[in-house]
Amino acid sequence: MNLLILNGLGYRTVSPNCQYRGTDRRMATHCDTVPDDHEINRLFKWFLKEGGESGVVHDVLKARRYADLCNQYFPDKHFEVIEVTDGKTTPENSAPQLLGFDISANGFGSSLISLALLHEPTQKIPEEPMIVLTNLIREHFRPRLNKFGLFQTVADASDCRRAMIALQSFHPNLYEGGDLAVFTVAGVYLVPQSVNGAA
């Protein structure tokens, strides 16, 4: 089971009706208002050790407890645990809520949706061919995003990924540096929170 602990409210939006909740969101940090040996900071150390650079952890009980504590000690945030799967794989967690399908670096990281679809079309030099084509891709695929800023189907996410890879093949680094093949379709599922903050 691949789990991410993320700030539940995405920081990129296109409208009040679309709140991005994919993989490209802020992770928890050290809580400076309590000692290092406090439970939240012990769990932060666990998160760093197990999650490493990707932030992927596997212990659902610790992940839920850490998210609960983050919501208590960072009151302006809303942390949640999500399970991330290969787009075609069903989640291991029981009773998950499908948030949608993202196009994420290595299945867990930055998102082509967040990078390319969740902002307004570029108005500069509209006759520039790459600008015209990126705007067309955005106009075609953005209406297919659900209220969480994610695709509702694997097919739509896969089609968008293929279109972006094809366009970047004509213009290197258009969306992101390097090879876009590292971006894969990822299922994003909300893991139910623990009851009364208990692990």
Residue ranges of domains in the chain: 3-197
Please tell me the number of Cα atoms within 13 Å of 148 on its side-chain side.
20
What gap in Å lies between CA 147 and CA 168, rounded to an integer?
Answer: 27
Q: How confident is the model at residue 129 (pLDDT cuts 50, 70, 90)?
A: confident
Beta bridge partners of 59: none
Is the pLDDT reported for residue 16 higher than 70?
A: no
User: What is the residue-averaged pLDDT of the chain?
Assistant: 88
User: Which token pair is 39?
Assistant: 């439970």
Query: Backbone phi, then psi, for 47, in 5-degree steps?
Result: -60, -45
Contact status, residue 8 vs residue 78, Cβ threshold 8 Å: yes
Is the pLDDT reported for residue 198 higher than 50?
A: no
Helices 154-170, 129-141: inter-axial angle, 10-degree rounding:
180
Q: Span 91-115, mean pLDDT? A: 89
Q: How confident is the model at residue 137 (pLDDT cuts 50, 70, 90)?
A: very high
Is the pLDDT reported for residue 94 higher than 90?
A: no
Give the number of other Cβ atoms within 10 Å of residue 90's Cβ: 10
pLDDT per position as a tens digit, 18-53? 789 999 999 988 999 999 999 999 999 999 999 988
